[in-house]
Structure 1
């Protein structure tokens, strides 16, 4: 081909592709920071339409995938003044730690954007609902100057080395070996957590949930050398999406698991003490944090976190999903497994949980286990923390159910994890003599006792909290015995019930005139119908918050006992007009397992529990729902 033609062809290709390459590589620091500024402006205006969103942009709030424009987009009152922006032109990503008010309450807002020639492809946000932290950030006004300073080229370390040094922080914290090598900290390292200085303090300030007043007086290296953080049993899904080589800064996102098995806290003064009640149960936290390095040492750390359902996996987690299926064995049940057999199976599972050993159960290959809507490895979660379980026919708050037609056994009753009581709704699926599914929903008592008690971090007050004495009394006897004959407990009753909950109307729900209902042990003086309507000065409080009821699933239909056991997610968008109570101020989703007693075709009794979840939460089983709306 003649040279002249080659040049012309190359020029034409450059003319055609030039704009694409320019867009892909031209988003420098100024461009990225401008995109973040535009994003936050759009958020405050409650309108994402001006943003250059790529088709099928993935948007999350606190790890929940929701349509952009929902959730936080509807409740932000204003943007704050503090803004710490992290830019990475090489990866096309930008992140910001900033502050907002939502329905008048201060919060810490963190956003990460991934941008290419097609626009904004990923938006990952974390709302840390800590008004005190938001106030402290506002008083700071801006990040410390060192975060924003360019480092001379000859003093920089490479991108990969920046990530490697940052990752040592997480490896050192995981199980926190006090004999590890922690020389990757600068001697003048300091750390902020939700804008609170947590290192090098000159005052005796207890750290986090503990009573330890020494830890916060130490530097970064000295703190981790104590082994104090041993309650962090796993740090997974470590992501380093924003690496700013010019400023020697890394923005990281990680998931921290506390599996509840660590029972003693190694104090910074060299002694040990019983671990706070907050760590009685398995917990998962997500941290978004910035690291500034000085040479190859960690010099500044700025961390913010949220609590997620235990075992949560980020939609942005790299690599294939974790294999959380279990192995089968040679044990078997009776084939077919009738009602009596299923009753025996559920008790067998309860005893296995108490023994922390599932090996005696008749398990199918690939058996799946979940807790509160998250698939876990069999043996994780409750299998490591649960203590005494109330047994059907023995204890006052326990019942079992079965449906031979579907091979389903179920349980509802009290549990104890170390010192924390809870109510367990358990579904066990048996097929061809083997257990192939175990689903646990455990609503724990949450209290604001010493050092923040057992309350889920930064959740709003529940519409109905557990009783102060954490006692639920006895389960109504109508759930525990058999009826004289089989009764009509068609799933349609559940459809009518949850539809009425969403519509705030009892008109189509077949309630008996004397129907009674409890949420988290609270009944009040209203009938089932009045509670659904939200009537009276002090209704249960769940129904008048309801905007959407979704992910409705029947766990078991027991015609012999006349009981439906179901679970649903109830959304509260926090968009009600007028003044709002603390319960209503932030978008929330409530997981509500329910026992519904049916007699002669009408609902006579309902026992419900209420568990707070991040807004938009769905069960991992939702794609396989036995019943959906």
Structure 2
């Protein structure tokens, strides 16, 4: 597909997403074209279209992030809605087959303070979305491998396992979670001033027992994007390096996580995530098959 045609298809998929979001706000889905095998989940739970957060949304704030995979006909949007109880970050993924929507996967993120900055989710960031030079791009397979190595590194408390830049910024629900200004951090959050690699190797994520149901539904080689949908398992009894246990009760975390990769190294990581009952299913199977490849 030519560059021009890819651009047109990208805009078409974004327009379909916008039509879906407009239907959500209007609570009227009659104009949507749905495939016979259509499936919809919210936070991993299968729901009929029109159920869930759709019933409590009152408006949508302008702005947000679009991620598009022209090759697989998928588009994901992150934004902020206003519900009866206040604002909520959300992510929604559509799979489009021709003119038909076959999949809608939604993640609703309630308030997760101190990791909760909705304005950051809405803010335009041209640098993050920039098209990178051809000689800095990775293949689809390499992008998936790099994301998997990031998750493997967390599971093994070994930051050397992931190719990542020292100044890589990770945002969690809009909050700076790496290389942050230490003077702005409160007690117990000092590790957020560290690099990704130092955080992992220092055991600051030892409370995460596993990252399962890893899926990579969307890849954009031109922008160096690989999108992961994954579940973090927190058994509730694994301490960090200072001996404290972050949660104290078992839970899992469903996450949509986008990696920006340049020259086969992670340049930035953005995530939106929310706590669900421990051991919850993704609603979309056990994940993508793993086949390690050389990325040198």
1:115 is aligned to 2:119: no
TM-score (norm 2): 0.88
Residue number among 255, 272, 284 corresponding to 2:252 in the alignment:
284
Is the 2:93–2:104 contact (alpha carbons within 8 Å) kept by the matching residues of 1? yes
In structure 2, the residue matched to 1:197 is: 176
Pair 1:308 & 2:276 matched: yes
The reply on whether 1:137 has 2:125 as its aligned counterpart is no
Pairwise CA distance, 1:274: 3.1
| 3-state DSSP of counterpart to 1:73 | helix
CA 309–118 in structure 1, closer or farther in 2 if over 3 Å, else same: same
Structure 1 residues 145 and 118: CA distance shift in structure 2, 3 A: closer
Which structure: larger Rg?
Answer: 1
Query: Are 1:237 and 2:213 matched, yes or no?
Result: yes
Q: Do residues 274 (structure 1) and 244 (structure 2) align?
A: yes
Q: Aligned pair in 2 of structure 1 residues 165, 295: CA closer, same or farther (>3 Å)?
A: same
1:308-331 per-residue CA deviation (whole Å, 9 max, x = no partner) reads 1211112212469xxxxxxxxxxx
What secondary structure does 2:131 align onto? coil
Given that residues 81 and 138 in structure 1 are in contact (C-alpha distance below 8 angstroms), is that contact kept between their aligned partners in structure 2? no
Aligned equivalents of 2:142 and 2:225: distance in 1? 11
Residue 265 in structure 1 maps to residue 240 in structure 2: yes
CA distance in structure 1 between the partners assigned to 2:7 and 2:202 by the alignment:
46
Residue pairs, 1:203-352, within 5 angstroms:
203-204=182-183, 211-262=187-238, 264-266=239-241, 272-276=242-246, 278-279=247-248, 281-318=249-286
What is the CA distance between 1:153 and its match in structure 2? Answer: 2.0
What pairs with 1:356-375 in structure 2 (closer than 5 Å)?
Answer: none
Q: For residue 81 of structure 1, give the secondary structure of its aligned residue in structure 2.
A: coil
Q: Post-superposition shift, 1:90? A: 0.8
Does the CA contact (< 8 Å) of 1:106 and 1:131 recur in 2? no
Whether contact under 8 Å (1:182, 1:224) holds in the other structure is no
Aligned to 1:184, which of 163, 170, 176?
163
Give, in whole Å, the separation in 2 of the partners of 1:139 and 1:245: 24
Contact 2:236 2:250 survives alignment (8 Å): yes
Over 3 Å counting, the alpha-carbon distance change for 1:213 and 1:139 in structure 2 is closer
Where in structure 1 are there 5+ consecutive unaligned residues? 1-24, 267-271, 321-629
Normalised by the length of structure 1, the TM-score is 0.43
The 1:206/1:305 distance shift into structure 2, 3 A limit, reads same
Report the Cα distance in structure 2 between the residues aligned to 1:302 and 1:167, rounded to whole angstroms. Answer: 15
Residues in 1 aligned to 2:33 and 2:162: alpha-carbon distance in whole angstroms:
44
RMSD between superposed Cα atoms in Å: 2.4
In structure 2, what is the equivalent of residue 32 of structure 1?
13
> Whole-Å Cα distance in 1 between the matches of residues 113 and 202 of structure 2?
28
Residue in 1 that maps onto 2:293: none
How many Å apart are 1:282 and its aligned residue?
Answer: 2.3
Q: Any idea what the Cα deviations from partners look like across 1:243-284, whole Å, max 9, x if unmatched?
A: 01111111110011112342x321xxxxx32324x23x3211
The one of 16, 31, 48 equivalent to 2:29 is: 48
2:62 and 2:21 map into 1 onto residues whose CA distance is: 12
Q: Deviations over 1:312-365 (max 9, x none)?
A: 112212469xxxxxxxxxxxxxxxxxxxxxxxxxxxxxxxxxxxxxxxxxxxxx
Q: 1:229 to 1:54 in 2, by over 3 A?
A: same
Q: For each residue in 1:208-245, what CA deviation from the matched residue of structure 2 results, as whole angstroms up to 9, or x when unmatched? A: xxx53420111222222211101100110000100011
Distance 2:116 2:213 in 1: 30
Q: Secondary structure at the match of 1:274?
A: coil
CA distance in 1, matches of 2:114, 2:13: 26
In structure 2, the CA distance between the partners of 1:63 and 1:213, relative to structure 1 (3 Å rule), is closer
Distance 1:80 1:185 in 2: 33
Contact 2:168 2:268 in 1 (8 A): yes
Q: Which runs of 5+ in 2 are unaligned?
A: 1-5, 289-296
SS of structure 1 residue aligned to 2:205: helix
Check whether the contact 1:115–1:121 (CA below 8 A) recurs between aligned residues.
yes
- Determine which structure has greater relative contact order: mean sequence separation of CA pairs < 8 Å that are 6+ residues apart, divided by chain length: 2
Give the conservation status (yes or no) of the 8 Å contact 2:160–2:197: no
What is the alpha-carbon distance in structure 1 between the residues aligned to residue 176 and residue 115 of structure 2? 13
Pick closer, same or farther for the CA change 1:133–1:258 going to 2, 3 Å.
closer
Alignment of 1:210-609 (within 5 A): 211-262=187-238, 264-266=239-241, 272-276=242-246, 278-279=247-248, 281-318=249-286
Q: Distance in 2 between matches of 1:79 and 1:135?
A: 17
2: distance between equivalents of 1:55 and 1:167?
33
